[in-house]
């Protein structure tokens, strides 16, 4: 196994995902994880993650320096590399020029981590500190224009450092670098996959739940569906699923999902109409964080009301994924910065009557889809594009009202219809409409209009940690714009969002 030490990077679990792609088990633990615990795990290698801190800041994260005496390979990424250099006697200093984003990596030593690599490739940088001098046993193995020491190696001790982030898609051949570390340098065996994950997860759920009952919100998305199947596999009919119609669903979504869930899943499902409760609570609310937390609060209240009707219901199942957690709170006790609250984690009250079962909380979306196929889930559900827990509320900038919801539903339906017709639905990570909080002047039928603006959002991504705006054909954009303006009352302007993540997020709120 590979042990990953969380120094607070937003990408720390993405490192774990890259390790798992090579069918190697890994475990993420916080900075400060004791040396005795590390020894007990007997890892074949250790990866030190990046993080937002500077090595010289007070209370910056650390790990026991004795890890460098264990005789096992260690890879430091970004802050992890700086920690390694600083701890072993090198010098870290504030960079004269902060390096963030794309950079060209020039490799001077095409061995070990860089075995089989191109001599020059694109990498992704995000740092304000740099290595000024190395401990005596290290050599420089790669550089960029702004960072002379972009990669280092001590081949005698099997210590390696990368100032850039190999775990993100933006770094070309980054997966191969991690593969070279865990397979060629650490000599790990490939023995971890979705089949083994499912087997372990089912047993853990059985042990935790025993003869009690679990209630779960089933939205029809791949996350909740896969989580429900996994829990169902463990406890059978002791799982009671609840579909909450919060009024924030896409056009005809309740009817479509009711048919597909009833047809494909042999589960206990109860459909609850809570539209008025949610819409009344959102009246006058414009702040996106307040929206998310209010929706989360009401979501749990509905479950509490339903739970009282089910004798022996002690657990609440959720399809929470790791990107939900990492963007809402620090995972594993690490110092990760909060970006925004997510429905599944940000809206939970401190004293909840039900204990949580979140079997997918360490997985990314593509892994969940693999797991869904492993469990036999219908492919239409497996490949359904992600839809946020708060629904269309966070795609309406400003106040949510029935009128504005109807405008967005109609525009969104047209976009998805055209995306499917173009054969792009499964190729895109997400494609949807956003209703902006502005009106603009237009001319329709020789008359002045002053109506709403719709933004089209379409992105490509692997795991939602990073995303790039999709280069949709101009002809497709033209059709969508023309149809929205002509077929959706109250819209006279359409724009296309060309922002990637980072710096933006996929959703607008």
Catalytic center residues: 78, 165, 167
Question: Sorting pLDDT into bands at 50, 70 and 90, what band is 492?
Answer: very high
Provide the 8-state DSSP code for 180.
Answer: I
239-245/26-30 β-pairing: unpaired
Flag whether pLDDT at 329 surpasses 50. Answer: no
Question: Sorting pLDDT into bands at 50, 70 and 90, what band is 334?
Answer: very low
**Are 63 and 88 within 8 A, CB to CB?**
no
Superfamily of domain 194-383: HUPs (3.40.50.620)
3 state DSSP class of 354: coil
pLDDT of residue 350: 52
Residue 434 marked in a binding site = no
**Are 272 and 243 within 8 A, CB to CB?**
yes
pLDDT tens for residues 155-171? 999 999 999 999 998 89
Taking every pair of Cα atoms in the chain, the longest distance, rounded to a whole number of angstroms, is 79
Residue 126 marked in a binding site = no
Flag whether pLDDT at 290 surpasses 70. Answer: yes
**Are 38 and 3 within 8 A, CB to CB?**
yes
pLDDT of residue 335: 44
pLDDT of residue 23: 92
- What is the Cα–Cα distance from 192 to 80, expressed in whole angstroms? 25
Average pLDDT over residues 461-479: 92
pLDDT of residue 362: 77
Mean pLDDT, the chain, rounded, equals 88
Task: Please check whether the two domains, 2-185 and 194-383, share a CATH topology.
Answer: yes
Average pLDDT over residues 91-103: 80
pLDDT tens for residues 344-355? 544 444 555 678
Partners of 313 in the β-ladder: 213
Residue 266 marked in a binding site = no
Residue-range domain boundaries for the chain: 2-185, 194-383, 402-496
Residue 236 marked in a binding site = no
pLDDT of residue 398: 93
Burial of 203 (0-12, 13-18, 19+ CB in 10 A): exposed
Give Cα 226 to chain centroid, integer Å: 16
Question: Sorting pLDDT into bands at 50, 70 and 90, what band is 187?
Answer: very high
For domain 402-496, the CATH class is alpha beta
**Are 434 and 508 within 8 A, CB to CB?**
yes
- Which of 318-327, 369-378, 397-406 is predicted least confidently? 318-327
- What is the Cα–Cα distance from 91 to 79, expressed in whole angstroms? 13
Residue 221 marked in a binding site = yes
**Are 168 and 14 within 8 A, CB to CB?**
yes
Give Cα 467 to chain centroid, integer Å: 10
Question: Sorting pLDDT into bands at 50, 70 and 90, what band is 72?
Answer: very high
45-48/151-154 β-pairing: unpaired
**Are 279 and 245 within 8 A, CB to CB?**
no
Flag whether pLDDT at 24 surpasses 60. Answer: yes
Q: What topology does CATH give the domain 2-185?
A: Rossmann fold (3.40.50)
pTM: 0.68
pLDDT of residue 351: 53
Residue 389 marked in a binding site = no
Residue-by-residue DSSP string for 183-246:
IIIS-------HHHHHHHHHHHHHHHHTT-EEEEE--SSHHHHHHHHHHHHHHGGGEEEEEEE-
Better-predicted residue by pLDDT, 499 or 303 = 499
Residue-by-residue DSSP string for 225-236:
HHHHHHHHHHHG
Q: Which residues of 270-308 are buried (b: 16+ CB within 10 A; e: fewer)?
A: eebebbebbbebbeebeebeebbbbbbebbbebbeebbe
pLDDT tens for residues 399-451? 999 999 999 999 999 999 999 999 999 999 999 999 999 999 998 888 899 99
């Amino acid at each position: 196994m590979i042990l990953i030490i969380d120094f607070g990077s937003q990408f720390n679990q993405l490192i774990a995902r890259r390790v798992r792609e090579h069918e190697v088990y890994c475990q993420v633990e916080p900075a400060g994880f004791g040396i005795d615990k590390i020894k007990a795990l007997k890892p074949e290698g250790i990866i030190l993650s990046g993080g937002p801190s500077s090595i010289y800041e007070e209370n910056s994260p650390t790990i026991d320096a004795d890890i460098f005496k264990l005789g096992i390979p260690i890879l430091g990424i970004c802050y992890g590399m700086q920690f390694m250099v600083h701890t072993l006697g090198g010098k870290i200093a504030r960079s004269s020029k902060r390096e963030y984003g794309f950079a060209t990596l020039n490799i001077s030593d095409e061995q070990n981590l860089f075995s089989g690599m191109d001599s020059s490739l694109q990498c992704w940088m995000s740092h304000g500190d740099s290595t000024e001098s190395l401990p005596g046993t290290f050599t420089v193995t790669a550089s960029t224009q702004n960072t002379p020491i972009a990669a280092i190696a001590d081949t005698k001790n099997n210590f390696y450092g990368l100032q850039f982030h190999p775990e993100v898609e933006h770094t070309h051949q980054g997966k191969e670098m991690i593969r070279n570390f865990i397979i060629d340098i650490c000599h790990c065996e490939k023995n971890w996959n979705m089949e083994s994950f499912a087997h372990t997860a089912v047993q853990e759920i059985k042990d935790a739940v025993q003869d009690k009952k679990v209630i779960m919100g089933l939205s029809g998305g791949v996350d909740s569906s896969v989580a429900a199947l996994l829990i169902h596999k463990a406890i059978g009919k002791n799982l009671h699923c609840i579909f909450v119609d919060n009024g924030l669903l896409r056009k005809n979504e309740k009817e479509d999902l009711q048919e597909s869930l009833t047809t494909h899943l042999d589960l206990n499902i109860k459909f609850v109409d809570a539209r008025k409760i949610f819409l009344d609570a959102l009246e006058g609310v414009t702040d996106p964080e307040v929206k998310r937390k209010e929706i989360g609060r009401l979501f749990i209240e509905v479950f509490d009301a339903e739970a009282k009707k089910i004798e022996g219901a002690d657990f609440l199942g959720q399809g929470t994924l790791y990107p939900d957690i990492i963007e809402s709170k620090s995972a594993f006790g690490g110092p990760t910065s909060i970006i925004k609250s997510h429905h599944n984690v940000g809206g939970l009250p401190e004293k909840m009557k039900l204990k949580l079962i979140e079997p997918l909380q360490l997985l990314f979306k593509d892994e969940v889809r693999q797991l869904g196929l492993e469990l036999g889930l219908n492919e239409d559900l497996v490949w359904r594009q992600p839809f946020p827990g708060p629904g269309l509320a966070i795609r309406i900038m400003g106040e949510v009202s029935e009128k504005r919801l109807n405008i967005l539903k109609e525009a969104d339906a047209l976009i998805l219809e055209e995306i499917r017709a173009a054969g792009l639905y499964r190729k895109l990570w997400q494609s949807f409409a956003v209703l902006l909080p502005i009106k603009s002047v237009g001319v329709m039928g020789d008359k002045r209009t002053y109506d709403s603006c719709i933004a089209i959002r379409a992105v490509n991504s692997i795991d939602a940690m990073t995303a790039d705006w999709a280069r949709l054909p101009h002809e497709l954009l033209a059709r969508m714009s023309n149809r929205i303006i002509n077929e959706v009352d109250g819209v006279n302007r359409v724009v296309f969002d060309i922002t990637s993540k980072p710096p933006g997020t996929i959703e607008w709120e």
